[in-house]
Structure 1
Amino acid sequence: MNPNLFQEDSGDEEFMGIMSDCVDLLEKGETSGRPRIPHTVIRRDRETADEQLMADYFVKDAKYTLWYFRRRFRMLRPLFMRIVNDILSYPSRHPGHVPEHFRRMQDKLLDGRKRVGFSTIKKCVSAIRQLAYGYNPGALDDYLQIGEGTSRVYLDHYSKCVFQLYKEEYLRRPTPEDIDRLYDKYEELHGFPRMLGSIDCMHWPWKNCPKAWQGQYTRGDHDHPTIMLEAVASYDLWIWHAYFGTAGSNNDINVLNNSPVFREIIEDRAQDSSFKVNGTHYRKWYYLRSSQCLLSRTHARKKKRRKKFKQYQESARKDVERAFRSLQNQWHILTQPARAKSINRICRTKYACVILHNMIVEGSSHTISTLEEDGLIQPPTFQRTFEERMAVHERTNKELRDRHVHHALRHDLTEHILRLPSS
């Protein structure tokens, strides 16, 4: 064994010198003064790290196969390269919206030389590894030769690019064709007619929440600040609606009141979704959840005839829970407390994870609904006066919160489920 491995290098000697200066100051009673720690310039070999990364994953005869790429990057290589190419072409189409950090640039050194900066692929790899594994940004320095602060910046810019590029497609409202497919699938699998999906909320802990805000972001059942995500998911784990950024002290009903999930209904722009169940005619679709809003669990648990309905409802409602679990399994950064101090930065990271999740679900070819070639169809808009808008909002809100309709729908669905043949 080489004995030189155990000898102190120059860095250790410098550290010991700084520590001795601190001890001298303490012995003299100078507790207010601190020795100045010099800035250390690390000469990172960017070119060699870039070549090693390309040889490991992105060349024709790469060291690691596509199976390893899928496991470590949570997505297939064609999808990864699609995002990279879209980011490269995005600034030319939308100038000023995407940061310049994702374009290959020249860095001027102190001696006047110029060196090629980090490639876009390497920046995306740094961001994906942080999302997929929840790494501390400094943990990638030895392999990618990117500093901790730079990696943190690249993660935020990557999330911003993904959100700006794909929010219209992968956070879209369901089209009429999507709604029809979802209706048919849920009635076939779970027996619920005109059900559009499962809705629920999840909490993401916030580690660096400012102390002045901790009261409004902490709830009694959580001993730490959290930020809430409201999502609607279908059987194929596609997340149709995501509303993130609400203070963790809110309950699910308050989040539901603030979210835009019923925006089209309140503005009277939703398509006609009338249906009949148990001989009763209803005008609007519904979501399934577990609390006391929307279609909730029945209180008649003591009756044996309600047991079947409870089983069907729990079987249908678990889709959103499966989507949350799949989201956290793919992006482990969501299983760890958020380190950022900015709510906007945390929101961009969360939305980027949801969009990437939907992109992966789409690539698995198990999606119930797919975007047609005609593209997105915006709901119709109407030119109304202020008085007309207020009258429409008052009417739709009253219809949406009608308790009699809620209890009648729950009763009719229960009777409908009880008449289904037992599996």
Structure 2
Amino acid sequence: MGNIDCMHWAWEKCPLAWRGQYTRGDHGYPTIMLEAVASCDNWIWHAYFGVTGSNNDINILDSRDLFKSMLNEEMPDVPYIVNNLEYKRGYYLADGIYPTWSAFVKSYSSVVDPKRTYFSMKQAGARKDVERTFGILQGRWHILQQPVRAYEVVIMRRLMYTCIILHNIIVKDNGYNIADNELMYEPVHNMQRTWIDRCDAYNRRNKELRDREVHEELRHDLVEHF
């Protein structure tokens, strides 16, 4: 369904009392993080900006529920077949820091098998789409390249989302988007069910989302598919 990753935006005017909260050791200066999902046509499908720079990709995932529609049964299943086995829901390509959930496909950290080596090369190449999108976004809007001089996070959030919206408009107007971005579907959520039934369905889908065995099986089938 896309490639997920995070980007840091330096905050020059961060108040002194907040610098410890917004600074991470590998950067050494205050930043605010953007989580985004992008496809190979550089279209940004999902964006969440505002998490303090001292966090990592997993903290953003926990603070912003990317899978809210799926857990609330507001989106249909998208079954597909890999290696003659059927899976019900799509997945995102992610790097090694993300958890081993069924919704993520990561490369292998250490490989000796030629099949896994080839798969890891293909996965890393496809996952670069989101990083390339970050580069295009910063190259197109130079304000994102420079440390932001705003004093409030709300202003920074508006600036970031404005740049992302304009980026998607340019991609669509240039005819580079490969998907029907205006595709609409009716929510499959049934409000006539009891609250207990909805909670049970939410817990069941949450368990399926975090299923490590499905993650390993899907990755193995993708290796064989390639």
Distance 1:304 1:288 in 2: 20
Matched, 1:246 2:51: yes
Are residues 276 and 391 of structure 1, via their aligned partners in 2, closer, same or farther at CA, if it must alter by over 3 Å? same
For residue 223 of structure 1, give the secondary structure of its aligned residue in structure 2. Answer: coil
- 1:288 offset after TM fit, Å? 0.3
From 289, 295, 303, the counterpart of 2:105: 295
Which deviates the most, 250-259 or 384-393? 384-393
Letter in 1 for 2:225: H
2:91 corresponds in structure 1 to 286
Counterparts of 1:385 and 1:222 in 2: how far apart (Å)? Answer: 49
Tell me which residue corresponds to 1:274: 79
Aligned to 2:152: 342
Counterpart residue number, 1:359: 169
1:324 equivalent in alignment to 2:129 = no
**CA distance in structure 2 between the aligned counterparts of 1:334 and 1:344, rounded to whole angstroms:** 15
Task: Determine the structure 1 residue equivalent to 2:210.
Answer: 401
CA shift, 1:382, in A, is: 3.1
Q: What is the RMSD of the two structures over their aligned residues, measured on CA atoms?
A: 1.8
Q: CA deviation at 1:358?
A: 0.3
Instruction: Provide the secondary structure at the position in 1 that maps to 2:37.
Output: strand
TM-superposition CA deviations, 1:29-50 (whole Å, max 9, x none): xxxxxxxxxxxxxxxxxxxxxx
**Residue identity in the other structure for 2:187:** P
Q: Map 1:76-155 to 2 at 5 A.
A: none
Q: What is the Cα deviation at residue 378 of structure 1?
A: 5.4
Instruction: Return 341-350 or 251-260, whichever deviates more.
Output: 251-260
Q: Secondary structure at the match of 2:36?
A: strand
Structure 1 or 2, whichever has the larger Rg, is 1
Q: Given residue 158 of structure 2, which amino acid in structure 1 is its aligned partner?
A: R
What's the CA shift for 1:393? 2.3
Q: 2-side partners of 1:215 and 1:387: how far apart?
A: 43
Tell me how far apart the structure 2 counterparts of residues 367 and 279 of structure 1 sit (CA, whole Å): 30
Give the Cα separation in 2 of the matches to 1:323 and 1:378. 30
TM-score, length-normalised on structure 2? 0.90
Give the secondary-structure state (helix, strand or coil) at the position aligned to 1:394.
helix
Deviations 1:247-300 (A, max 9, x none): 111111121122232111111222121122123221110000112432111134
- 2:187 counterpart of 1:379: yes
Matched to 2:22, the amino acid is: Y
Equivalent residue number for residue 200 of structure 2: 391
> 2:107, 2:119 within 8 Å by CA — same for their partners in 1?
no
What is the Cα deviation at residue 385 of structure 1?
4.4
- Per-residue deviation, residues 109-128 of structure 1 (Å, max 9, x unmatched): xxxxxxxxxxxxxxxxxxxx
Q: Is the 8 A contact 2:73 2:189 kept in 1?
A: no
CA–CA separation in structure 1 for the residues paired with 2:185 and 2:82 = 29
The question of whether the paired residues in 1 share the 8 Å contact of 2:8 and 2:53 is answered with yes
Counterpart of 2:26 in structure 1 is: 221
Separation of aligned partners in 2, 1:270 and 1:396 = 12
Aligned pairs, number: 220
Q: Distance in 1 between matches of 2:39 and 2:198?
A: 32
Higher RCO (Cα < 8 Å, 6 or more apart): 2
Residue aligning to 2:223: 414
Q: Residue 162 of structure 1 corresponds to which residue in structure 2?
A: none
Taking every aligned residue pair, what percent have the same amino acid on both sides?
A: 49
Question: How far apart, in 1, do the equivalents of 2:132 and 2:73 lie?
Answer: 32
* Residue in 1 that maps onto 2:101: none
Query: Aligned equivalents of 2:63 and 2:195: distance in 1?
Result: 21
Change (3 A) 1:271 1:214: same
| 1:312-349 Cα shifts (integer Å, max 9, x gaps) | 11221111011100000000000111111111111000
C-alpha contact (below 8 Å) 1:300/1:306 kept by paired residues? no
In 2, the alpha carbon distance for the partners of 1:380 and 1:413 equals: 29
SS at match of 1:214: helix
Shift of 1:381: 4.1
CA contact (8 A) 1:201 1:231 kept: yes
Q: Name the residue aligned to 1:35.
A: none
Give the equivalent residue in structure 2 for 1:127.
none
Specify the alignment match of 1:17 in structure 2. none
Match of 2:119 among 296, 302, 309: 309
Bigger drift between 355-364 and 249-258 goes to 249-258
Please give the secondary structure, in 2, of the residue aligned with 1:204.
Answer: strand
Give SS of 1:356's match: helix
Unaligned runs of 5+ in 1: 1-195, 418-423
TM-score (structure 1 length as normaliser): 0.50
Check 1:305–1:379 CA distance in 2 against 1; reply closer, same or farther (3 A cut).
same
Unmatched segments (≥5 aa) in structure 2: 99-103
